Chains A and B, each alone.
Chain A
Amino acid sequence: MAQAQPIRTKPQPDTGDTYLLPGETYTSISSTIGDVPLTAPLKTPRGWFIGFAVSFALLMVFLVSVSWLLIRGVGIWGINIPVAWGMDIINFVWWIGIGHAGTLISAILLLLNQGWRNSINRFAEAMTLFAVACAGQYPILHLGRPWLFYWLIPYPNTHGLWPNFRSPLDWDVFAVSTYATVSILFWLVGLIPDFATLRDRATNPLVKRVYGLAAMGWRGSARHWHRYEMASLLLAGLSTPLVLSVHSIISLDFAVAQVPGWQVTVFPPYFVAGAVFAGFAMVLLLMIPVRTFYGFQSYVTIRHLDVMAKVMLATGMLVVYGYFMEVFGSLYSSSKYEQYLLFNRVSGPSAWAYYGLLFCNAVAIQPLWFRRVRQNIPALMVISLIISVGMWLERYVIIVLSLQRDYLPSSWDMYIPTVWDWSLYIGTIGLFFSLTFLFIRFLPMINIFEIRMYLHQETERAHRREAAAHGHDHGQAHGSASAD
């Protein structure tokens, strides 16, 4: 059958160094990563329990916040007229943005054949899903009558009414739901070979059975692998446009409106860059502690961190370009309202947010030009945290500062988030971390088979290099790794 060789098994471009530390074998990989989910319940590390307990407590905050919200209405938040969107939409955009790193890593880097992604893609994809789960709450909860959210979905109904397809909010429904569906599929499909590994390694019959069911009969035959590779490729192909489309469409929520500070044509690419920027920051923020805690330094090496920091720097600079274009746009527009927007950002009552965002997203990333900073773990943690805050502030500036002072000064008003605004935000963080901790505990955090394959490729490459050094041709590597 003549067909393209799946990307995953293509020879890696020779970048010189390897991303893996020496001394790893297929077995060591399977056991280091695979044993975490298979640990007996009582042998679960205490650190996990503590982390999960804290997250679960925050999840309860989420529960309380949502219940009170449904009982009383969105008036428990600080939103008002003119600032009718506040932390609900800020957090929605923030969470969606965070999710983007996962999709970028799993889809685009796969298509670009970046082997180093293998160590981080599972984790990043999981993060995507959980972030989307958090983000997805907001568009529903922010409604005045959330129980009627399904009216945004086009379905044949007795009202004889369709949604308004001209509204960007309706585009959001499609963008976000498609994104969530494809992401979850991609993630689950990617898990199948690893479920098989866990099934094979499990000793407890019940655990074996559960993972066995999840592995859907995976036996690692060549046919399986072939189908599997094709499915991955197709899903990667499907996901790739999503990386660009989802946040572009979210940005249109603003760009389509005529609020000064919202109607900016640069928004779609600027939002996408910002999303990847925030997403990578979040991956680093989560990956660094996990890697240390579970001893994954050999899979997620300092070089991985270095590369992710570079991506952050690049996307961060794109975002800075966006800021520059906003300033240019408002000055060049010759519109009083647009010019006032800039004035309000730099000297209005919420100027702190604008300066905060410039510091976090433009100034704080500059040290990443230096390799020493990129490879310094505490520095990366701090910078990633600053970026996460900065990207939150960016949405605050776009949403709140624009609405606070639009056309008629008589209507200008401030937005002051209430305790319920914050509790729901903290609650979604609880949801996110609860899911993350469950993921860490019950699923392989790093893609076992891909690391094994990567090891294989790297070994092949080492051989090639050795051979080249000896002047012999050992021939082209072929075949693929198989599950044990």
Chain B
Amino acid sequence: MADTPAFRDLVEREFPQGASELNDPVSRRSFLKLMGASLALAGITGCTYMPRERIAPFVNQPLDRVAGVPIYYASSVLLNGYATGVLVRSNDGRPTKIEPNAKHPGSAGGTDLFVQAEILTMYDPDRSTQVLNTGAASTWDAFTAALATAMQGQGASGGAGMRLLTTTITSPTLADQISQLLAKYPQARWYQYDPINRDNAYEGTRLAFDEDVTTRYDYSKAQVVVSLDADFLSPGPGFAAYARAFADGRRLRKDSGEMNRLYVAEASPSGTGATADHRIQMQAGQVAGFAQAIASRLGIPGVAQGAVPDAATRFIDAIVEDLEAHKGSSLVIVGDQQPPVVHALAHAINAELGNVGSTVIYTDPVEARPTNQTNEIASLSNEIEAGAVNLLVIIGGNPAYNAPGDLRFAERMAAKVPLSVHLSLYNDETSSLATWHIPAAHSLESWSDARAYEGTAGIVQPLIVPLFGGKTSHEILAALLGQPTVDPLTIVQGYWQGQLSGDFNAAWQGALSTGLIDGTAAATRTPTLREEGLGGAAPAPGELELVFRPDPSIWDGSYANNGWLMELPRPLTKLVWDNAALMSPRTAIKLLNLPFDANQLVGGTVENEHALEALSEINGKVVRLSYRNGSIDLPLWLLPGHAENSITVNLGYGRSKAGTVGNGVGVNAYAVRTSDAPWFGSLDSVSDTGGTYLLVSTQDHWTMEGRDIYRVGKFEEYKLDPEYITKDVHKEEFGTEHHTYESMQPSLDYTTHHNAWGMTINLSACIGCNACVVACQAENNIPVVGKEQVSVGREMQWLRIDRYFAGEDLDNPDTYLMPMACMQCEKAPCELVCPVAATVHDYEGLNNMVYNRCVGTKYCSNNCPYKVRRFNFLQYTDLSAVTLQLGRNPDVTVRNRGVMEKCTYCVQRISGARIEAKKAAVSAGSDNYTIDDGVIITACEAACPTEAITFGDQNNSASRVASWKSEPHNYSLLADLNTVPRTTYLARIRNPFEALAAHDTVERQEG
């Protein structure tokens, strides 16, 4: 019975992990050989018991590979099909960190948070490890055999019963494979569906131009940007590049002559809204009317008239005036959730203003097949219901979970599809309904390609063999085409061999090393505007509306099992581990008939702040939202700045088969989302269920209590006197414009030392996107602690982004975002009080934390005025999951319970650079080493898409950080405590439109 297939089957079921070895006689022999070696070595190690491991040295050392020295590979990471170019760090063959690829247009030197978190997804122990056939373990071979039979059947009908469902595809290779498949089976159909799709944008271009074009923007030329519910400063196609170009126009120096200006009209507060110079809150349904009003004021003919909210009317004059003053250097953009007609209007406005060709660029579609994805999933669902589908191949995505609720996709798929296949990273909601589940290879494990937002194709290259034996989408397509054993590298190379001219090998190597294939950017087009497309009326806004938004941390739910993201405080709510019904204080008061006068929030005094604090007690009350014949119960969360009579719910929660992290977290809003209005719609009613639910946020106090924490100024005044913000603060605090803080402690002089590391954080540039926070977590092996631990104030992120609400009206406030990590004080209060000297200064002025010496008195944290220290109250680091161990950064100590930790300025990177510099100096025969500016880039700085964070040597006057620190609006937080922090802030400068600013002043005086 030793090697019969039946026995192998039994073993496969019994010991799925060890099974492959029995199949492989070579492996068994080498195992015995190595066993012999380890027995011999056992004598050397003496009596210490070591767990038995298989080790094998390289016979030939691979080129460029030195143990302990990381290597970077260029690749791409996808979000909704669009690529962000990255450089992946590989430590001894294990990918451990993803950095931006500045050469890649989709990255432009920054990334979003999802890119940063991909490492954890790849090593997620919950990932699927097994091919499943109706839930039972099976094999790839069994699958391909079954598929071959099915395809034979399809061949007869030309694939009439076959449907391919994918997510948004930009991959040229995959598109090519799909077209081969469709050529072979002409009756088959290919559908695409992503719940966060760009249907409206494409429908808008069809309305405006009657053709599919991709619109992209050049923010570097935009002086005035009007965003109509467009959250372009949060992840999406082109995010990193857009954010970089936009922020370039806002990081001011004392001699800056100009600054761009951003108007945002939106319902759900976003990072973009928080960054805006003027934020106009209105229901999502009112944006269309607002756009129509602007368009007709600009003289665009044939525009229908919609209602404009009263509070917004005064902005229209200003926006029109400002746009007209900036013809050719202005930009009107529309959010993907706005109806097509608004997009069409924006195209018309941009054309009218002469922005096309300068700030707005039209190109060939970047997606392989732009389409209305909501219609496609609806058609598919109907076909399934009609029994027309007998083979459904789903590549990626999770339609059983995230299809609009009214399509009843999961139900129909389970009942009516005889043979279905789902390729997925997890055995998720769709996989469990599919006949076959194939574990997918992660993008860090696969060969593939993908396009950036502007069309440039880049190669996705694997850093590691698929950990769990996953397959790529190319392999599934190949199997469908009858080539079940071809490997993905051959497929991708095969495609590009046909595309690239000249020496293929050189071109291929070049593409691998730069991460992109030159000259593949989408060609520009000059579509002609059709006037008739502009007259459409948008659906009238309802009395009360419900807005669906992607979650800022877990997107459409596909990141729900990523602990870094799940525990990442959402930028504006600071909520973790839940979604909520987000609404403004006024709306909550009205809907729940609270005995609270909303005018208590208006006035701009500390009393108003306390009124908001008192009102926020209602957070967590469970309300029932009745929406289109369905209802969901959600805890409410007050979000000052949310449009009145509008409630936002984030998608992506309420997963049942996400994994140990994501299961059962939050409420699934897809259930009530409908295919006719996927983004917002009129809400029937909101009622108080009487229940309460524990919502956990990392920031319980929302205002600044009148303290000098976040400094803001206006560009007009800054131009006259760049020092005016500091002077104003000093005048208020001390009565004089100039003030130096007296200290009783002797000063240490670090200027004579070799390097003095410092950091600046530019508050004008920070958009609160959280990429830095996740980057820090990935780089520094920071554990995830869970909702319950966060609820008692024990989150571990070293870097946090504080959010404060301020201003006259706390129902419609200014929102301030302030990244905070260890300030690396020169006179650190933490160091004085540690009884065992576990936190000490080094010669470069860094405030170091010596984990091995820490006994855990926590006194340092008590004495830290910035409260940036984090304590391992329990054993937070998971020491048992093997895959998670592989993903950790080997250069950073893994901390166990009872130890304090905090931001180190990525001291491992500093040390690495110093060692290299010293080696270089020694080999040049010199004693003096120099570390050039920009050689050390901290993880947060590297990820930041807006260059808000700058790190460097402040002793080097030529360094970026030194030059920023010399700017007059540079300030130290809590400077009067004389901690002399190395991290300083550049005050935020806003650029309000003069007419509106004057209006605000008058209103303030009247108020």
Interface pair B701/A412, CB less than 8 Å apart: yes
In the complex, which residue of chain A has the Cβ closest to the Cβ of B874? A75
Q: How large is the interface on B (under 10, 10 to 19, 20 to 34, 35 or more residues)?
A: 35 or more
Interface pair A84/B858, CB less than 8 Å apart: yes
CA distance A152 to B855 in the complex (A): 9
A84-B862 contact given A143-B856, A152-B836, CB 8 Å threshold: yes
In the complex, which residue of chain A has the Cβ closest to the Cβ of B863? A257
Please, which residues of chain A bring their CB within 8 A of the CB of B789?
75
Please, which residues of chain B bring their CB within 8 A of the CB of A336?
705-707
Interface pair A142/B835, CB less than 8 Å apart: no
Interface pair B862/A163, CB less than 8 Å apart: no
Interface pair A144/B802, CB less than 8 Å apart: no
Interface pair B792/A416, CB less than 8 Å apart: yes
CA distance A159 to B852 in the complex (A): 11
Which of A75, A152, A253 has the most CB atoms of chain B within a 10 A radius of its CB? A75
Interface pair B837/A406, CB less than 8 Å apart: no
In the complex, which residue of chain B has the Cβ closest to the Cβ of A405? B701
A144-B900 contact given A80-B793, A81-B870, A163-B837, CB 8 Å threshold: yes
A81-B871 contact given A144-B897, A167-B835, A336-B706, CB 8 Å threshold: yes
CA distance A159 to B838 in the complex (A): 12
A223 at the interface (CB under 8 A from B): no
Shortest beta-carbon distance from B154 to chain A in Å: 58
Please, which residues of chain B bring their CB within 8 A of the CB of A151?
836, 853, 855
A258-B861 contact given A161-B853, A164-B834, CB 8 Å threshold: no
A266 at the interface (CB under 8 A from B): no
Interface pair A73/B853, CB less than 8 Å apart: no
Interface pair B857/A142, CB less than 8 Å apart: yes
Please, which residues of chain B bring their CB within 8 A of the CB of A406?
865, 867
Shortest beta-carbon distance from A168 to chain B in Å: 7
In the complex, which residue of chain B has the Cβ closest to the Cβ of A256? B833
Chain B residues 840 to 890 lying within 8 A of chain A, measured CB to CB, are 853-859, 861-863, 865-867, 869-875
B482 at the interface (CB under 8 A from A): no
A173 at the interface (CB under 8 A from B): yes
CA distance A7 to B173 in the complex (A): 101
Interface pair A144/B820, CB less than 8 Å apart: no
CA distance A257 to B831 in the complex (A): 11
A73-B833 contact given A336-B707, A408-B709, A408-B802, CB 8 Å threshold: no
Please, which residues of chain B bring their CB within 8 A of the CB of A258?
829, 863, 865, 977
B899 at the interface (CB under 8 A from A): yes
Interface pair A80/B832, CB less than 8 Å apart: no
A414-B705 contact given A152-B855, A166-B832, A167-B834, CB 8 Å threshold: no
Please, which residues of chain A bring their CB within 8 A of the CB of B829?
257-258
CA distance A168 to B803 in the complex (A): 34
CA distance A148 to B789 in the complex (A): 25
Shortest beta-carbon distance from B832 to chain A in Å: 5
Shortest beta-carbon distance from B1001 to chain A in Å: 26
CA distance A340 to B854 in the complex (A): 32
Which of B700, B855, B898, B977 has the most CB atoms of chain A within a 10 A radius of its CB? B855
Contact with B along A133-168 (1 / 0, CB 8 A): 000000000111110110110000001011110111
A259 at the interface (CB under 8 A from B): yes
Interface pair B853/A144, CB less than 8 Å apart: no
Shortest beta-carbon distance from A84 to chain B in Å: 4
Which of B834, B836, B871 has the most CB atoms of chain A within a 10 A radius of its CB? B836
Task: Tell me what chain A mostly uses at the interface: helix, strand, loop, or mixed.
Answer: loop
Interface pair B874/A409, CB less than 8 Å apart: no
Pick the contact of A80 from B707, B792, B897, B899 — CB < 8 Å?
B792
Pick the contact of A413 from B793, B802, B853, B872 — CB < 8 Å?
B793
Shortest beta-carbon distance from B208 to chain A in Å: 44
In the complex, which residue of chain B has the Cβ closest to the Cβ of A258? B829
CA distance A289 to B102 in the complex (A): 79
Pick the contact of A84 from B699, B703, B800, B871 — CB < 8 Å?
B871
Interface pair B836/A164, CB less than 8 Å apart: yes
Pick the contact of A75 from B804, B866, B897 — CB < 8 Å?
B897
B974 at the interface (CB under 8 A from A): yes
In the complex, which residue of chain A has the Cβ closest to the Cβ of B793? A80
CA distance A173 to B897 in the complex (A): 23
Please, which residues of chain B bring their CB within 8 A of the CB of A73?
872-875, 897-898
Contact with B along A384-425 (1 / 0, CB 8 A): 000000000000000000010111111111101000000000
Pick the contact of A410 from B699, B834, B857 — CB < 8 Å?
B699
B327 at the interface (CB under 8 A from A): no
Please, which residues of chain B bring their CB within 8 A of the CB of A416?
792
CA distance A336 to B705 in the complex (A): 9
Interface pair B834/A403, CB less than 8 Å apart: no
A83 at the interface (CB under 8 A from B): yes
A81-B837 contact given A151-B855, A258-B829, CB 8 Å threshold: no
Shortest beta-carbon distance from A383 to chain B in Å: 33
CA distance A410 to B854 in the complex (A): 26
A85 at the interface (CB under 8 A from B): yes
Please, which residues of chain B bring their CB within 8 A of the CB of A173?
835
A79 at the interface (CB under 8 A from B): yes
A167-B873 contact given A151-B853, A408-B866, A409-B701, CB 8 Å threshold: no
CA distance A151 to B856 in the complex (A): 11
CA distance A161 to B837 in the complex (A): 9
Please, which residues of chain A bring their CB within 8 A of the CB of B898?
73-74, 143-145
Interface pair A410/B974, CB less than 8 Å apart: no
A84-B861 contact given A72-B874, A75-B873, A336-B706, CB 8 Å threshold: yes
In the complex, which residue of chain B has the Cβ closest to the Cβ of A410? B802
A170 at the interface (CB under 8 A from B): yes
A220 at the interface (CB under 8 A from B): no
Which of A80, A142, A149, A170 has the most CB atoms of chain B within a 10 A radius of its CB? A80
In the complex, which residue of chain A has the Cβ closest to the Cβ of B859? A169
Which of B829, B834, B866, B873 has the most CB atoms of chain A within a 10 A radius of its CB? B873
Contact with A along B935-947 (1 / 0, CB 8 A): 0000000000000
Please, which residues of chain A bring their CB within 8 A of the CB of B412?
none
Interface pair B862/A259, CB less than 8 Å apart: yes
Contact with B along A98-115 (1 / 0, CB 8 A): 000000000000000000
In the complex, which residue of chain A has the Cβ closest to the Cβ of B873? A75
CA distance A284 to B789 in the complex (A): 42
A356 at the interface (CB under 8 A from B): no
Please, which residues of chain A bring their CB within 8 A of the CB of B897?
73, 75, 144-145
Please, which residues of chain A bring their CB within 8 A of the CB of B858?
79, 84-85, 142, 144
B704 at the interface (CB under 8 A from A): yes
Please, which residues of chain B bring their CB within 8 A of the CB of A11?
none
Interface pair B856/A170, CB less than 8 Å apart: no
Contact with B along A364-391 (1 / 0, CB 8 A): 0000000000000000000000000000
A329 at the interface (CB under 8 A from B): no
B794 at the interface (CB under 8 A from A): yes
Please, which residues of chain A bring their CB within 8 A of the CB of B863?
257-259
Chain B residues 964 to 994 lying within 8 A of chain A, measured CB to CB, are 974, 977
Please, which residues of chain B bring their CB within 8 A of the CB of A144?
854-858, 871-873, 897-900
Interface pair B855/A408, CB less than 8 Å apart: no
A409-B837 contact given A75-B873, A144-B855, A144-B897, CB 8 Å threshold: no
CA distance A405 to B613 in the complex (A): 14
A82 at the interface (CB under 8 A from B): yes
Please, which residues of chain B bring their CB within 8 A of the CB of A413?
700, 793
Contact with A along B117-135 (1 / 0, CB 8 A): 0000000000000000000
A74-B856 contact given A80-B792, A80-B793, CB 8 Å threshold: yes
Interface pair A409/B707, CB less than 8 Å apart: yes
A78 at the interface (CB under 8 A from B): yes
Q: Which residues of A contact B (CB under 8 A)?
A: 72-76, 78-85, 142-146, 148-149, 151-152, 159, 161-164, 166-170, 173, 253, 256-259, 336-337, 340, 403, 405-414, 416
Given contacts A82-B867, A151-B853, A408-B867, 6 further A-B contacts (CB under 8 A): A83-B793, A143-B856, A144-B858, A257-B859, A407-B865, A408-B974
* CB<8 Å pairs between A and B, sample of 7: A81-B793, A144-B857, A145-B855, A146-B855, A159-B853, A167-B835, A257-B862
